[in-house]
């Protein structure tokens, strides 16, 4: 499917879901353990947030909630598994939005059709934090831009096509500078080399860099999102730092196989919202740099379609292609 048709398909995700089960089956749901596939390794934002919500979901569903990490190919492997699953409400997908908004633009073979999945809700929104080693000698975004105009600087990311890579490339395009990209296999090793001074800067996940910022080992210049980080409220957004057209928000999204009955989708969305908004969970999410969103399937579909257009343009500009 070409890109315009993919975007149309994303927009169409907001349409009423087909394949309703008989009323008796709907009222019995769930009849067995509920499986949530996370197509990324343990320890990342999607894993942390879902494990916080899982206990609340399990209590409400009165069935075990089984979290399965199925990493590989930028989230494509686990997503393909859910895309092929029976649409009966017993298999769900919890992803970083880039699986839908970025991967179709950069992977030659996704292994699944994005339109085979439908959004249930955007759970949380998060940004990336722009940090530099103190030896770079900058404390603001404006100072970094000025330095990059006279000195060739490098930046680290958790890998090609990840949120930090995309956020930085969008920033470089916005401010009109260039920096050398140094990709790593995850944000933790990227951060270690920025701390060690091997790489000057990085746009990295807030929870990864926050302790190092507090310890003075890294300097935080700005956050990528449209609002300040709840974990670093003193750090401005890129827009506040002088570039109002810039915003790079990322989200965690609950998806279901297309054809999952609408009553089940609505019930799961409601329970997910209640789980994330529970006071003890919400407090931990704020500390982990996550802003709770929770909306309708239509709102999630519109957000995914808009972000797909934005990141598609970035991917084409930097000629990002992955096998």
Q: What is the DSSP letter of 75?
A: G
pTM of the model: 0.84
In CATH, what number is assigned to the domain containing residue 210?
A: 3.40.190.10
129 neighbors 203 (Cβ within 8 angstroms):
yes
How sure is the predictor about 42, in pLDDT bands with cuts at 50, 70 and 90?
A: confident
- Mean pLDDT across the stretch 124-134? 95
Query: What pLDDT shows up at residue 7?
Result: 47
Query: What pLDDT shows up at residue 186?
Result: 81
**What is the percentage of the chain residues whose pLDDT exceeds 90?**
75
Quick check: is 266 in a domain?
Answer: yes
How sure is the predictor about 45, in pLDDT bands with cuts at 50, 70 and 90?
A: confident
Residues 120 and 148 grouped into a single domain = no
pLDDT tens by residue, 215-262: 999 999 999 999 998 888 999 999 999 999 999 999 999 999 999 999
Residues 113 and 200 grouped into a single domain = no
Query: What pLDDT shows up at residue 288?
Result: 86
Residues 116 and 7 grouped into a single domain = yes
How sure is the predictor about 10, in pLDDT bands with cuts at 50, 70 and 90?
A: low
Question: Above 70 in pLDDT, residue 283?
Answer: yes
d(CA 273, CA 276): 5
Quick check: is 244 in a domain?
Answer: no
**Which residue is listed with tokens 């989708």?**
265
- Of 223, 258, 284, the one marking the end of a domain is 223
Query: What pLDDT shows up at residue 266?
Result: 96
Closest by CA to 47, choosing from 80, 89, 88, 78, is: 78
Residues 50 and 120 grouped into a single domain = yes
**Hey, what are 56's tokens?**
């609340």
Residues 113 and 133 grouped into a single domain = no
Question: Above 80 in pLDDT, residue 80?
Answer: yes
Residues 97 and 9 grouped into a single domain = yes
In CATH, what number is assigned to the domain containing residue 289?
A: 3.40.190.150
Quick check: is 205 in a domain?
Answer: yes
Which position has the higher pLDDT, 159 or 95? 95
Question: Above 60 in pLDDT, residue 2?
Answer: no
322 neighbors 74 (Cβ within 8 angstroms):
yes
Quick check: is 240 in a domain?
Answer: no
Quick check: is 297 in a domain?
Answer: yes
The number of domains in the chain is: 2
Quick check: is 239 in a domain?
Answer: no
Residues 73 and 167 grouped into a single domain = no
Axis crossing angle, helix 297-317 with helix 3-11, rounded to the nearest 10:
160
Residues 137 and 38 grouped into a single domain = no
Query: What pLDDT shows up at residue 158?
Result: 86
Residues 122 and 135 grouped into a single domain = no
Closest by CA to 191, choosing from 171, 168, 170, 218, is: 218
- Say which range, 67-71, 260-264, 285-289, has the weakest mean pLDDT: 285-289
Question: Going along 73-138, which residue ranges are E strands?
Answer: 91-96, 117-126, 128-132
Question: Above 50 in pLDDT, residue 18?
Answer: no
Residues 138 and 210 grouped into a single domain = yes
Quick check: is 234 in a domain?
Answer: no
Query: What pLDDT shows up at residue 206?
Result: 86
Residues 23 and 116 grouped into a single domain = yes
Looking at the DSSP assignment, which residues form a beta bridge with residue 322? 107
Residues 155 and 210 grouped into a single domain = yes
Quick check: is 268 in a domain?
Answer: yes
Task: Give me the domain span that covers residue 183.
Answer: 128-223
């Amino acid at each position: 499917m070409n890109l315009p048709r993919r975007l149309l398909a994303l927009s169409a995700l907001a349409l009423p879901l087909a394949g309703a089960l008989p009323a008796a089956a709907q009222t019995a749901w769930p009849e067995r353990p509920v499986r949530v596939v996370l197509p990324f390794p343990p320890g990342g934002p999607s894993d942390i947030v879902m494990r916080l919500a899982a206990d609340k979901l399990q209590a409400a569903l009165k069935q075990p909630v089984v979290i399965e990490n199925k990493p590989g190919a930028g989230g494509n492997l686990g997503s393909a598994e859910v895309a092929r699953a029976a649409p009966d409400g017993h298999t769900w997908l919890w992803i970083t939005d880039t699986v839908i908004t970025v991967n179709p633009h950069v992977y030659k073979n996704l292994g699944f059709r994005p339109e085979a999945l439908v959004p249930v809700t955007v759970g949380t929104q998060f940004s990336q934090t722009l940090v530099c080693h103190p030896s770079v000698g900058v404390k603001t975004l404006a100072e970094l831009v000025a330095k990059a105009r006279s000195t060739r600087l490098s930046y680290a990311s958790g890998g090609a096509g990840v949120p930090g890579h995309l956020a930085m490339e969008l920033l470089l395009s916005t401010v009109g500078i260039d920096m050398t990209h140094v990709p790593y296999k995850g944000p933790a090793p990227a951060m270690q080399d920025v701390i060690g001074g091997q790489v000057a800067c990085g746009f990295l996940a807030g929870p990864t860099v926050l302790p190092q910022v507090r310890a003075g080992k890294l300097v935080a210049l700005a956050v990528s999102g449209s609002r300040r980080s709840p974990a670093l409220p003193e750090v401005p957004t890129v827009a506040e730092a002088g570039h109002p057209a810039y915003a790079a928000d990322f989200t965690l999204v609950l998806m279901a196989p297309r054809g999952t009955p609408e009553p089940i989708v609505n019930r799961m969305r409601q329970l997910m919202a209640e789980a994330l908004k529970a006071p003890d969970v919400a407090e931990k999410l704020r500390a982990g740099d996550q802003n709770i969103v929770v909306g309708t399937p239509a709102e999630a579909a519109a957000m995914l379609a808009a972000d797909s257009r934005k990141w598609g343009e970035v991917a084409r500009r930097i000629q990002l292609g992955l096998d």
